[in-house]
């Protein structure tokens, strides 16, 4: 069976997200230290950084950059899996979208528009992937 057009669109979106997450991850490695250095010039921020355990301010941008790079690889894998219409990508995608909804529930308490948009997008994503033609394309039968 052919790949549905919506799956192609979502695979491309995942590919773009992976690209931008890679840029953010690399940027965190290089720009993060510059931000820490700028923070040390402000007396209040410097006092705050001095309260942290030794090495934490310098390590944080590297850890954050590493997390973004790992997440970008995951998004790239999902984009490739969706493009190839692999059943593992279908399952992984639904699981991660469900986690995305769960993770953004806190934003609903303060009516954060980004959280609201993320929940709406993830909800649509799940709804779309549970449609029989999409399940059939991925070789998934009666998922729920």
Residue indicated by tokens 């790949």: 3
The mean predicted confidence, pLDDT, of the chain is: 90
Q: What is the mean pLDDT of residues 106-127?
A: 90
In this predicted model, what pLDDT tens digit does every residue of 1-12 receive, in sequence order? 688 999 999 999
Domain boundaries along the sequence of the chain: 1-84, 86-144
- Taking each helix axis from N to C end, the angle separating 113-129 and 5-41, rounded to the nearest 10 degrees, works out to 150
Contact 84, 137 (CB under 8 A): no
143 DSSP 8-state letter: -
- Evaluate if residue 129 carries a pLDDT over 90: yes
In this predicted model, what pLDDT tens digit does every residue of 47-96 receive, in sequence order? 888 888 888 888 888 999 999 999 999 999 999 999 999 999 999 999 98
């Amino acid at each position: 069976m052919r790949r549905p057009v919506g799956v192609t669109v979502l695979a491309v979106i995942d590919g773009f997200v992976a690209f931008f997450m890679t840029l953010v991850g690399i940027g965190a490695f290089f720009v993060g230290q510059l931000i820490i250095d700028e923070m040390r010039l402000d007396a209040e921020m410097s006092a705050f950084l001095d309260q942290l355990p030794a090495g934490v301010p310098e390590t944080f941008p590297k850890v954050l950059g590493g997390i973004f790079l790992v997440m970008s690889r995951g998004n790239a894998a999902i984009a490739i899996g969706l493009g190839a219409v692999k059943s593992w990508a279908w399952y992984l995608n639904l699981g991660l979208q469900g986690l995305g909804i769960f993770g953004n529930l806190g934003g609903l308490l303060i009516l954060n528009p980004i959280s609201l948009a993320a929940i709406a997008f993830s909800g649509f994503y799940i709804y779309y992937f549970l449609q029989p033609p999409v399940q059939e394309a991925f070789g998934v039968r009666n998922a729920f």
